[in-house]
Amino acid sequence: KAGVTQTPRYLIKTRGQQVTLSCSPISGHRSVSWYQQTPGQGLQFLFEYFSETQRNKGNFPGRFSGRQFSNSRSEMNVSTLELGDSALYLCASSLDRFSSGTNEQFFGPGTRLTVL
């Protein structure tokens, strides 16, 4: 079974631009969560999508948004990029809603975003 895939793996943008990252979950998984990881802050939860609906949200500004499609694939969008948005963005999938129990989460390799 293929794992979680994320595209692109690396991305360089400039301040003020917007970016869209893509995540394909493990086949059969219906929940997709997004995380931001930086050296200073560590892993921070962005949001979780399940059945095309956002089910849980972290403390990030509205510039960060996402969506999930009927095939469970998910996209994350960051508008008006700032230097501080440079980070590794990780996507994780689970069979059921991750935030509702002890469901195991499987992470993708991440997208390394650099904002210049």
Partner 1 sequence: KNQVEQSPQSLIILEGKNCTLQCNYTVSPFSNLRWYKQDTGRGPVSLTIMTFSENTKSNGRYTATLDADTKQSSLHITASQLSDSASYICVVSASVTGFQKLVFGTGTRLLVSP
Please report, as ranges, the residues that interact with partner 1 according to CB under 8 A.
Answer: 4, 41-45, 55-56, 58, 90, 92, 97-102, 104-110
Which CB atom, from 23 or from 115, has the smaller least distance to partner 1? 23
Which CB atom, from 4 or from 76, has the smaller least distance to partner 1? 4
Closest contact distance (angstroms) between CB of 80 and partner 1 is 26
Determine the Cα–Cα distance for residues 114 and 116; give it in Å rounded to an integer: 6
DSSP code string of 53-97: EEEEE-S--TTEEEEE-TTS-EEEEE-S--GGG-EEEEEEEESS-
Which CB atom, from 4 or from 19, has the smaller least distance to partner 1? 4
